[in-house]
Amino acid sequence: MPIIIEQVLAAADYGQQKNRPVHEVTITRHGLVLRLLTLGAAIRSVQSAHAAGTLGHVHLHLPDVADYAVIARNPHLGATIGRYANRIGSAQFTLDGTTYDLDANRPPHMLHGGDWGFDRLVWDITVAESVAGEPDRVTFALTSPDGDMGFPGTLVATSTYVVSDNQITFLYEATSDADTVVSFTNHGYWNLSGEPTIADHTLQLAASRVLDIGDDLVPTGAINSVADTPLDLQTPTQLGTAIANTPNGLDHCFIVDGADLDSDTGQADPVNPVAVLTGGERWMSVASDCPAVQIYTGNSLKPPFHPHQSVSIETQRLPDAPNHAGFGPFLLRAGQTYQSTTVLTFGTGRAPALDSLPS
């Protein structure tokens, strides 16, 4: 079916963006319907097929599209996160001898790029391509000026969704006219069963290490083994059990097995298996070239949602990496291109083994 684009919100101001309308993009495939918003280059909703073929929602969504523009009601739902995903401690980093003070939107730290991070801005649609026999493709583009939320360099970013009958791929690219730091992710909120809780879901991660964090959820700099801890999700683990065994639930960053943390810049890793999530009769697998994945079990969700109604599987570079040696790539040098790929595959019945995920 053709890609449908329609305006859903009247022109309004978003941070320094003035008079911007919001559009919705609908992609319909066999067994999969994806709706996207230009606000945040975000997933509005995902419907995938039951075993019987009927469609059901597998991603949290707000009842009214206008709610997505209300920060208090929209916890980054399905959005493209940038310039730097997750947390940067003390909202500050030093690059080549210069210290940059960032927007401390979670005082004294920065979370998800600041109050007007990429998920709160309206992106442009530059590609909406549907060709018979090929995956559909939608690309959103955004230019972030030098000094935006405190980050150096004018950054030109794209967020692309490539959609086939049972698969959604996130492709991110960025260039900058000055050295800067970059890490993008998609902040999906997944519930495969449609139940009020994801306690019955199981999650398996290809991750034997996890970042140590303080009470403020900012990394301490230590990297711990998950062995013999409640954070060992290397075999399929019921999320209800994992939530019960961690204070308030999971909000932890795991290092993907096989990730290269030896370079501050470097090229992307190969696409590695990351996770398999099951819920009800459905499963969703995740593969990515990112070195880390944040697992968040919706601990702080507010109405119209409920705590622990979803799980986020956010592939990314390591949080606070600019402030920790040995945390792998975080730099984007002027003239280079940042790239990232994450592949979500949906199915019913028996879930695939982690080592069988696409590469």
Burial per residue of 189-203, b for 16 or more beta-carbon CB atoms within 10 angstroms, e otherwise: bbbbbeeebbbebbb
Nearest-angstrom CA–CA distance, 322 and 172? 20
Q: Residue 285's beta-bridge partner residues?
A: 276, 345
Q: Which of 187, 201, 252, 324 is catalytic?
A: 187
Residues 6+ apart with CB under 8 A from 90: 104, 108, 109, 323
For residue 99, the Cα-to-chain-centroid distance in whole angstroms is: 27
Residues 6+ apart with CB under 8 A from 103: 91, 110, 114, 115, 116, 149, 150
Nearest-angstrom CA–CA distance, 212 and 222? 5
Residues 6+ apart with CB under 8 A from 353: 276
For residue 66, the Cα-to-chain-centroid distance in whole angstroms is: 22
CA quadruple 353, 354, 358, 359: dihedral sign: negative
Q: Which of 61, 76, 314, 324 is catalytic?
A: 314
Please confirm, yes or no, whether 187 is among the known catalytic residues.
Answer: yes
Q: Could you tell me the CA-to-CA distances from 21 to 76, 115, 191 in Å, in that order?
A: 19, 20, 29
Active site residues: 187, 314
